[in-house]
Amino acid sequence: MRFNVAQLLKEPVGSSRRYVINEDIGRINDEVSTTRHLTGAVKPTNLGNAILVQADVETEVELICSRCLEPFRQSLVFHFEEEYYSTIDIYTGLPKEIPDEDGVFTIGEDHVLDLSEAVRQYALVALPMAPLCRPECAGLCPQCGQNLNIRRCLCQPIEVDPRWEALRALVEGREAERPDQE
């Protein structure tokens, strides 16, 4: 996802382009990889001292269900807007000052804008915190480890601390029985 923006930097402020992307990004991190190409649209706009990149992209990733620990595929759709600062003046070839902040994206000395790191970061943020293969996933038996989506196990139910009874009643959708309060 590299775009040469040299010509765009020479154009008036507000000038923009539109690009369609369809690229394999491989892995997002050590635990998550994509299962199909990243597709979408990118719109870089000249801001004078920077390029504003607006992107709407989607891909599919393979995740591990947080309940049953089985792998599954999930669509990942996200939007981002980031400013990319030019490090070299397009007309003089001299170095330019960039903001002294952490996480600033820059345009390379060859005037090529690389979206790879921004896409990786925004994809990580778009990942679910507790991925589920499906909302009604039954998970694993806490005693024997049987995947309860495949079959029920023969384990005896664990006796629950009676102090949790009120919470269990709420979860099951009925009112908890309360002792008379005086």
Assigned domain for 26 exists: yes
**Assigned domain for 132 exists:** no
pLDDT at 175: 53
Residue 174, in any domain of the structure:
no
Beta carbons of 65 and 34 less than 8 angstroms apart: no
Taking 80 as the threshold, does the pLDDT of residue 160 lie above it?
A: no
Q: In whole angstroms, how far apart are CA 24 and each of 36, 40, 68, 116, 122?
A: 7, 12, 29, 11, 16
Q: Is residue 119 a part of any domain in this protein? A: yes
User: Residue 44: helix, strand or coil by DSSP?
Assistant: strand
Order of strands, sheet of 105-107, starting from the edge strand that comes earlier in the sequence:
19-23, 33-46, 50-64, 71-86, 105-107
Most confident of the ranges 77-81, 105-109, 161-165, 167-171: 77-81
Q: What is the mean pLDDT of residues 165-171?
A: 84
pLDDT tens-place string over residues 3-12: 999 999 999 9
Say if residue 176's pLDDT is above 60.
no
Report the domain count for the chain: 1
Is 60 part of a structural domain of the chain? yes
The fraction of the chain above a pLDDT of 90, given in percent, is: 66
- Domain span including residue 92: 2-126
Q: Are 85 and 106 in contact (CB under 8 A)?
A: yes
Tally Cβ neighbours within 10 Å of residue 144.
Answer: 9
26 confidence band (pLDDT: 50, 70, 90) = confident
The pLDDT of residue 95 is: 87
In a domain, 93, yes or no: yes
pLDDT of residue 174: 60
- Angstrom CA distances, 17 to 52, 70, 173, stand at 11, 42, 54
Convert the pLDDT of each residue in 64-121 to its tens digit. 999 999 999 999 999 999 999 999 888 888 888 888 888 899 999 999 999 999 999 9
Q: What is the largest CA-CA distance in the chain?
A: 84
In this prediction, residues 26-35 reach a mean pLDDT of 89
User: Does residue 148 lie within any of the structural domains?
Assistant: no
Does residue 12 belong to any structural domain of this protein?
A: yes
